[in-house]
Amino acid sequence: MQRLSLFATGLVVGTSVIAQEAMAQDAATGPQSDAAGNEIIVTAQKREQRLIDVPISIIAKTGLELQNAGINDFNDITARVPNLVINETPANKQITIRGIGTTGNSFSFEQSVALFVDGIYGGRNRQYNQPFLDIERLEVLRGPQGALFGRNTGAGAISITTARPTQELSAEAFAEYEVRTESLNTTAIVNGPLTDTLAIRIAARYADENGWLFNETLDRAEPQTENFVGRVSMLWEPADNVEIFGKLEYSEVDIIGSPFELVRGGERPDYVKNSDDTLSPERDNADALNGVLQIDIGLGDHTLTAITGYSGYDFAQAFNIQGQSPTRLVAENAEEFTQWSQEVRLLSPTDGAFDYVIGGYYEWSESLVDRAQIFDFPPPFSPRTPDQIVERRFDQQTDVLSAFVQANWRFADQFSLGAGLRWTRISKEAEVEGTTTSFIVPPGAPVPPPGVLPRVTPIFLDGEFSESSFAPSASLNWTPDRNLTAYVRYARGEKGGAFSEFQGVTEATFFLEPEFSDLFEIGIKAQFPEVRGFLNVIAYTTDYSDLQRSALNIDTAEFITSNAAGARTRGVEIEGGFSPVDGLTLSAAVAYLDAFYTSFPNGPCTVDNPDANAPGGCAQDRSGDPLENAPEWTGNVAADFDRPVSDTLRVFANATLNFQSDVQFREFGDPLTVQDAFSKTDIRVGFGDIDRGWQLALLVRNLFEERTSSLIFPTFPIGLGPADRVHLPDPLRSFTIQARVAF
């Protein structure tokens, strides 16, 4: 930890010096660029802009960067984006930016970090499960983005732009093979014209991956993953002022086994997982279909854009929550989800003193969730203990209508004022029904036992609501030249109201109010054309009210949902890089985060709290305590080398150090659910032809085999010790051979 603090202090001091030098420079003509000298273009404000011109904290990565680093899905990008944490829970993903995200395993909650793929909104955690394919650019927007991106962006947003068809005939094939797990990942892309005005692009990805953990009970590696993604995109330009883009994408993911393992109190993960295949086959099967139709029409100097989107998926999973044998708790989940959306917007030109974007948005979605849990309670609770089967069905429909405007006024040579506003109305109706079936049986007896009548507790709840809100934003920007921008910004974000479908839900806990966030941010973005360098320094503070929280009730093993907490996150984010000599690029990104509850008087207790199983439950005041999934320090340092060694051959190498300070995973501050500080090193070396038509590389991830977990949570109170925990171990050292050919 001391090393991390010393590193960050040095980087901050160095940053201040460089920023002062940038402000003293004369105006330059070079573009905003990354450390390799490439112009960084983003679409964070609904139009293509240079990164330096956007008053938002953004990390942008190209598709080639992601592919070279072996980043194939969302779980892999956290090491390259400070202040972004993605956890894989037994049922869902949890995405956190600057310490704020959606907690618990609810299928009815939407994420606090919204996903946009080619402009289409995805707020469900299952929409983050799709592998990456043929990506042009990935943008991580940190902080509330309500004015332009809408609801459920209170913590931030992730925007992905896929590659579009062009009139140039081309093809590409990429393959990587991981030696230790014998896993294969392949991608193929074909692009070209069908006519003078119509182009097509076809991309497909297939992966067959073996797990990095060994299941001794079943004598196999887990999790075993097989996935396929296929996409067809077309671009039609029937007239000089008309462009029509269409995309259809299908994906399948099949997973056998899970990476979770039980760790007894005081032990570290040993990377051996035990499970009982009789009760829990541990599977996860999903397929998804996504479609986009975007029409851009030039109306003089303006552009009218209409985007129609479809997103649908269904999945089924079963898993042993505790990762032990014999199985004590089995969960089965299934969901069918359908979403249609329509956005229309008008963009003005940007060559005058005033520019704007104005638009409207409508969305309809439906989610049908089926959940079941089987509890097999063993001693030492009593000689006869109640076994339970809990079944739930949750049906929800959502309608969203919104209108938005964003405008910029350049009122002086070096100053501009930006302002945005979005009005949103959300309407939801939902019902949950199910039963809890309890048996009183001797330990190990069959369920249901012969001649024993169960106690059946039914539940039925339904409700509806409609809410409206405004999300404003404003920024004051200073741009003395095209190589320097400084800004101050305010923004409000909202996470819409929700219904709960958790086991144990009551009429009092069925509905959750919306949560709100208010951001104040100051930043400076500079570039240095002489060394092909850039530097971004951003400081912020954000207050959150009525946080939607799901917390485990230790006494009943049920999740309790409520608008329980207020929180504040504040910190500094720094990203920079430069090229001291041709062929060598040095870069670094670091984030400091101070995230804590400002009010959480009825926080949940830890499992080893003396009052954890007291009648009526247990609560503790967590006001002032750190937030979960909010490490104080995150960052990375990298060196890239790429030089020709002959007229036809080039060599390249990369070394990246990723680091993170301690992180608490649970909302009740359990000292045994903390991952200690760590650092990991990845290296990549290879060679290819000078025209980049082919290349061969070796990627080694986690070079020094650091043992870490990306999630830790307590076992449920069904006969295990209070210090027992379930871990999600991260992969150890891996060796991946990469090959690419393009023509």
Residue 126 backbone phi and psi in degrees, to 5: -70, -20
- Which pLDDT belongs to residue 91? 62
d(CA 717, CA 213): 26
Q: Are strands 242-256 and 261-263 parallel, antiparallel or unpaired?
A: unpaired
Cα→Cα distances 97→100, 319, 663, Å: 6, 28, 14
Alpha carbon 434 to its chain's center? 31
Residue for token digits 């209508």?
401
Alpha carbon 439 to its chain's center? 40
Pick the closest to residue 440 from 391, 381, 392 (CA basis). 381
Residue for token digits 């093993």?
557
Pick the closest to residue 586 from 572, 575, 597 (CA basis). 575
Residue for token digits 């899970």?
258
Q: Are strands 734-742 and 170-178 parallel, antiparallel or unpaired?
A: antiparallel
- Which pLDDT belongs to residue 444? 55
- Which pLDDT belongs to residue 347? 98
- Which pLDDT belongs to residue 273? 40
Q: Please give the structure tokens belonging to residue 309.
A: 């989107």
- pTM for this one? 0.88
499, 510 contact by CB (below 8 A): yes
- Give the chain's domains with CATH numbers: 2-742 (2.40.170.20)
Neighbours of 161 (CB within 10 A): 19
Q: What is the pLDDT of residues 56-99, one digit of tens each?
A: 999 999 998 998 888 888 888 988 999 999 887 666 778 899 99
Neighbours of 552 (CB within 10 A): 23
d(CA 635, CA 98): 13
Pick the closest to residue 734 from 61, 71, 63 (CA basis). 71
Q: What is the pLDDT of residues 463-502, one digit of tens each?
A: 999 999 999 999 999 999 999 999 999 999 999 899 988 7
Cα→Cα distances 26→481, 482, 484, 601, 678, Å: 8, 10, 11, 54, 42
In the predicted model, residues of the chain with pLDDT beneath 70 are 1-38, 89-91, 104, 262-281, 320-329, 375-387, 439-455, 503-504, 551-560, 606-617, 715-724
Q: Please give the structure tokens belonging to residue 291.
A: 């479609």
Does residue 672 sit in helix, strand or coil?
Answer: coil
Q: Which amino acid is at 653?
A: A
Q: Assign 3-class secondary structure to 572-621.
A: EEEEEEEEEECCEEEEEEEEEEEEEEEECCCEECCCCCCCCCCCCCCEEC
d(CA 74, CA 195): 36
Residue 57 backbone phi and psi in degrees, to 5: -80, 110
- Which pLDDT belongs to residue 187? 97
